[in-house]
Structure 1
């Protein structure tokens, strides 16, 4: 039946679960891996949910009006989400971002009308966060929504993402594998499903080169979107049953493999999450178990990065 939406933000959510077939067989996986394809959101990432949730919460609480300047540190996808929501709602937005983030992300932010302030790449998200607070002190009538501490972040996943997974699996789900950036996704989903299924396990994914969740030191890594280098305030560490560290190269190789074998255009952090899900899914004790893996964004946003730099864009020989 035809349906017309009032604006693009109303199209967020209800993303599909798709079984990982060929890549799973290639790696000898004995569990069932289902990918939650968040790039089906309008601006192609899981952060679309968070962007609209934080803005709507701030408006409802009286913290955000038509003359308020929104400032936010981002590794890219949250900024893109905020940018399209701000454009649709007529709001002003300044974003701080490490200079190492992909060109596609940076261009899209500017196309959507946001102002962009780049910070030193080696300092990671911590540098972007510090710059955002510096700007907030300088700019009158400005607000930082702060995805790392904003309760609207995990709450939107409680209300939508968790319920979608529960509905689409008929409640038959054994594990969640999710990369941790802010921690909102894994927190919101796991809190809801664990309350209904105490045997449900939540596996967090972080970069091996910045193993903060595992008690290690923050470090530079190439898995955009996860591994902020600190423990985010919204992350409920009590719901995490296991942390898996992923090397940059494994994340990249897995992303390329899934694109090629399954035709699913996953990006860098998705490659990390899927690599972790494969390790879990190969364990004999997990035979027949159902593992839902969050795919935050698609490969199109990373074509200029190291993951796909070896792709030859020239003419191919044919018979």
Structure 2
């Protein structure tokens, strides 16, 4: 294909930039970061996903139309969802329930099915579930923690990118974490051959020192982890350090490619991720903050002129519901309120300006046609479709009512007054005038059940919470799930939900 033109999105995986860290690093050394958020789905695991699937296709291990399954903390699943969407494979992922909700929503948005496992069972639990499902249904299991195609992808792509970026220059330290061990093994074996003087530093959570403990990993007969590592403890770095030593990581240990294991504090990881965003303009996740914390620790010890490269595995967008965003509010702070109050306009605490004086002659609204009045009457009298929602296509409050009906399984007719269907001759505006004359309200949405107006968004949500809406529906012969408990706050637009 032509330069910067690709056959599909998979052609954009890899070739991520290496960026100098300027403000956070000591001036006497050179600290660089490989920003894997530039992959199409925002993480280094896009490389793994593409490598594993294409390898399985080449070997015939993955047949056309076969379901792919994998255990993941999120990033691998997101990458696999992208690859499987392009290649036409159904995807099921298993994921512990305590990983960030953004990840499971992204995977489902890309078409994957997400099966949650109890948090108490940790990473080994979600892995065991994936194995169980693969065996039961004949699905292709990616086995990212021991699949050589994972490490091979980094040997073919990540490592050469690093070598090319530092050709003819020093590269004293390569700092990385480990999740599957694919980046570690795939890059380390190339650096050992091409740059034997480069020291390879592996970071892990200080409260979960699996590698640092020196204790062996219990394994089943097939080499997979038989149980959690005895040194594992829950930690903040999602995607880093599962509760076992993956085979690919063990391979790097056995080959003596790791020069140092560096423990990283969770609070330092969060702090460095925030500093990375606010001082370097690089938006990355907690594991990236942890790796940067390790690189900066090395920088303090390194000789003058040393060059350090660290891996930043993913973007910060999939950490919105985690401690990384603790204290990052959605309401204005006192400082922001002070800025707002420094000028008189568009303030929440200021009185609304007086309405403009009425013109001498008010414009006359066009008369409502008889056929529009008849149309509304017919809609509300239609016993075959007792629930009618008069709405706007993209109004958040209208969507709240739609979500309510979807939650309860209620069939309804939606009349979207701003849609192209109702724009001609201002038909939508005329319908709105008919509704206003009937209900005394000009607001939208307007909800009717059996020809009876029940209100707008909040009134409808409140009726559902009290169970009165369900009773009205039952009286009209409308099916609904009466066992669903409705929490109106959860259905309102995000900016209005109770906090």
| TM-score, structure 1 normalization | 0.95
Report the counterpart of residue 81 of structure 2 in structure 1: 83
Contact 2:65–2:88 at 8 Å: present in 1 too? no
Q: More displaced, 266-275 or 202-211?
A: 202-211
| Structure 1 residue corresponding to 2:193, chosen from 195, 198, 201 | 195
Residue 259 of structure 1 pairs with residue 256 of structure 2: no
Q: CA deviation at 1:313?
A: 1.8
Is contact 1:205–1:273 with CA below 8 Å preserved after alignment? yes
| Distance in 2 separating the partners of 1:302 and 1:183 | 22
Native 8 Å contact 1:255 1:267 kept in 2: yes
**In terms of mean alpha carbon deviation, does 200-209 or 53-62 score higher?**
200-209
User: Following superposition of structure 1 onto structure 2, how do residues 1-319 of structure 1 map, counting pairs within 5 Å?
Assistant: 3-24=4-25, 28=26, 30-139=28-137, 141-172=138-169, 173-215=171-213, 217-235=231-249, 236-237=252-253, 238-283=256-301, 285-315=302-332, 316-317=336-337, 318=339, 319=342
**How many angstroms apart in 1 are the aligned matches of 2:120 and 2:293?**
25
In structure 2, the gaps of 5 or more residues are: 216-230, 343-499
| TM-aligned CA deviation for residue 30 of structure 1 | 3.8
CA offsets 1:97-150 (integer angstroms, 9 cap, x no match): 1111111111000000111011122332111111111111221x3121111000
Conserved? CA contact 1:281–1:287, under 8 Å: no
Aligned in 2, Cα 1:271/1:207: closer, same or farther, shift over 3 Å?
Answer: same
Q: Does the 8 A contact of 1:29 with 1:282 survive in 2?
A: no
How far residue 2 of structure 1 moved from its aligned partner, in angstroms, is 5.2
Question: Alignment partner of 1:154: what SS?
Answer: helix
Please tell me whether the aligned partners of residues 81 and 111 of structure 2 are also in contact (alpha carbons under 8 angstroms): yes
Post-superposition offset of 1:171: 4.7
Can you list the C-alpha shifts for 1:73-92, whole angstroms capped at 9, x where unaligned? 00110000000000011001
- TM-score, length-scaled by structure 2: 0.61
Consecutive aligned runs of 4 or more in structure 1 exceeding 6 Å deviation: none
Tell me how many residue pairs correspond in the alignment: 314
1:152-180: per-residue Cα shift (whole Å, max 9, x none)?
Answer: 11111111101001101115311110011
Measured after TM superposition, the shift of residue 42 of structure 1 is: 0.5
The answer (yes or no) to whether the contact 1:49–1:156 under 8 Å persists in 2 is yes
Query: What is the CA-CA distance between 1:287 and the residue it aligns to?
Result: 2.3
CA RMSD of aligned residues (A): 1.4
